[in-house]
Chains A and B, each alone.
Chain A
Amino acid sequence: MPYHEFECSKCIPERLHHAVDKNKGEELTDALPLGYLGTIPGTISERGCAYCGAKHVIGTPMKDVIHLSHGPIGCTYDTWQTKRYISDDGNFQLKYTFASNMKESHIVFGAGGMLKKNIIEAFKAFPSIKRMTIYQTCASALIGDDIDAVASEVMEEMPDVKIFTCHSPGFAGPSQSGGHHKINLAWLSQMVGTGEPEIWSKYVINYVGEYNIQGDQEMMRDYFFRMGIQILSTFTGNGHFDDLRCMHRAQLNVLECARSAEYICDELRVRYGIPRMDIDGFGFEATSDSLMKIGYFFGIEDKARQVIEEETARWKPELDWYAARLKGVKVCLWPGGSKLWHWAHSIHSEMGVDVVSVYTKFGHQGDMEKGISRCEPGALAIDDPNELESIEAMYKLKPDVIFTGKRPGEVAKKIRVPYLNAHGYHNGPYKGYEGWVRFARDIYNAVYSPIHKLSLLDISKDEIPTDKGFETPQMFSDVNLSDEIKNSDVLRKCTSKFDPIPGYRAKMQKNEYLFPDPVTGELRTVPLEKLLKNKVVDVEQE
């Protein structure tokens, strides 16, 4: 696996060890890209900062919380509403963002007094919200404002509120990943163990590293509830602040995004003896294996099997409709930190897509180990590429589509490569069986879009065909398909609704899930209000 030298980065020799070509017969011990290092001077990274990683990725998906940045307003504005981490109770966390609005005078004279005033003002403006997270920024960290002391003062004056403080200024790490680490450990140290939950099922998990992007968590929650499992907390998508204080009472931590949330799982294992079980919620086989694993842990593999069989029967014919048409499509899988390994093998084996490159913006070497192991030989693996390297790779590899974030996605579009949003999704959710079919549909629509075909024409030099009328994606995708597939009465297009999440919420309202009593094991329904928000009792702190 030789290191890959980009033409455009020959003048930055340090970049050589950040890219590797995966060749047949070579192993991870032959070459591995460097990772989680400071961006090299002279190269322009597409990364976020440690504050962004703490607040935007992990903190703000919590739904019943005022998320306040102690810093200039731009910090909070630029980390607001860029990811679709929805909630099932009104999206307060998406509708509002808060900042103490530090200015020059505060840098000179301190901003503690102003912060306290703003905290109280925010709680008074939203009297139904009693929980807050405060995020340190570069500005407030450099002047040394004591946000913990301010938070304590407010909590003394307003005993019904709770405030979590996060010390992860933008410079506290080479990328957003530094912020993930800091907020994980801060939450564990400050908040976990401060509440006692009501346990109403025999099987209790924390669902960790799950951010409810366009409803991912709600999709998976349905499967867990059908298995009779209580989700004590979700870290953090669609999660309650108070539930997350009770993480120490789970029997198992089910971990999705290990890049952003392995730290809290690892520490919960060390401090409380709760095992960490890594799962993949993307792809039919991976989701099925994951549900079976959880089923084995609790001794409810029959329940897992039932969910798997029902979901597979419902959605597999739709996945296969797309798989028949996506075979051989070339993709650059260029997400942030974890989807390069969540998706690489599943899109290849279940949709026939060829992954020609994987990259990670803020992943560590461990993410590259997973990504490289899961993609096929011939792929180019890149750590923290700059824009010129991305463009060079696209010209060389000629992908049909790119899965990436919005910034590099727009660059791809400019050189006529369609992109799908790997972070916030296009038409998600993408998790679970239904979600995976939705992902396949989005890939199909991106690759075979007639408008994309038109965009490949350059009106300054290409001949514009005038003999073509109306065209549809299927006219392009079905050209080389056999009649057997084209006329199959088994395979069908995606029938998932425009937004499937209201359907899952309506199902919750019906409340037909059965959970075993933690003592007797007797199966019974649990009151809806408990399913939606668990009862938590404060623990007296010494």
Chain B
Amino acid sequence: MDKKTAEEKMGLLESYIAKHSLWQYNSRGWDRELQNEHILGKTKQILCGEKARENDSYSDKYYWSEAKTLVDAFNKYFPWLKETSKEDIAVIMQMLKDKMDYTMIKGSLNKELTKEQY
């Protein structure tokens, strides 16, 4: 898959997340980093048929639940994912995480993200 196609596909996934997923909007930057890393990481693992559960802790269950719900939606709205190779999915998901890290954290204009305490 060429870069432009990957970017277009990533954009579709990003648009869906921006509109539907509340987990990306936690109020602190460090918290958003954790959310992006765990939920998008597990989403990629599920899409690529990899093991996505690490342990039986509540937090791992939580991240997996968000990821599983996201995968359901991706499969419903973006049927091309089923025909995309695991390698390409991994590339798209990495681009997605980089983009979300920028939009929601590094490039964000939200001044509350850098406050230390809740």
Contact = CB atoms under 8 A, between A and B. Distances in A.
A144 interface: no
Contacts of A294: 65
Contact of A275 (B18, B59, B68, B72): B59
Interface in B1-57: 18-20, 22-23, 25-27, 31, 57
Contact of B111 (A252, A293, A365): A365
Interface in B57-87: 57-59, 61-62, 64-66, 68-69, 72-73
A413 to B, nearest CB: 31
Given A29-B102, A289-B69, A296-B69, A277 B107 contact: no
A28 B103 contact: yes
B61 A29 contact: no
A279 B22 CA distance: 7
A366 B105 CA distance: 11
Contact of B109 (A31, A36, A262): A31
A364 B27 contact: yes
B60 to A, nearest CB: 9
A273 B58 contact: yes
Interface residues of A, number: 38
Given A297-B65, A369-B25, A289 B20 contact: yes
Nearest to A264: B118
Nearest to B27: A366
B20 A296 contact: no
Contact of B20 (A29, A276, A292, A345): A345
A373 interface: yes
A29 to B, nearest CB: 4
A429 B118 CA distance: 31
A29 B109 contact: yes
B72 A292 contact: yes
A297 B61 contact: yes
Nearest to B17: A373
Interface string A265-292: 0110010011111111000001001001
A495 B22 CA distance: 32
A251 interface: yes
Given A28-B109, A29-B103, A364-B27, A275 B22 contact: no
A32 interface: yes
Nearest to B62: A275
B66 to A, nearest CB: 7
B25 A366 contact: yes
Given A251-B58, A275-B58, A278-B23, A29 B108 contact: yes
Max chain A C-beta neighbours (<10 A), residue from B20, B65, B72: B65
B27 to A, nearest CB: 5
A114 B102 CA distance: 56
A372 to B, nearest CB: 9
A452 interface: no
Nearest to A1: B109
Given A28-B103, A29-B103, A370-B22, A252 B58 contact: yes
Nearest to B69: A293
B112 interface: yes
A262 B27 contact: yes
Interface in A12-51: 27-29, 31-32, 34, 36
Contact of B62 (A252, A366, A373): A252
Contacts of A36: 112
Contacts of A286: 20
Nearest to A259: B27
B110 to A, nearest CB: 4
A98 interface: no
24 contacts: A29-B107, A29-B108, A36-B112, A251-B58, A252-B58, A252-B62, A262-B26, A262-B118, A266-B31, A270-B118, A278-B23, A279-B22, A286-B20, A289-B73, A292-B69, A293-B66, A293-B69, A296-B64, A296-B65, A297-B65, A365-B109, A365-B110, A369-B108, A374-B19
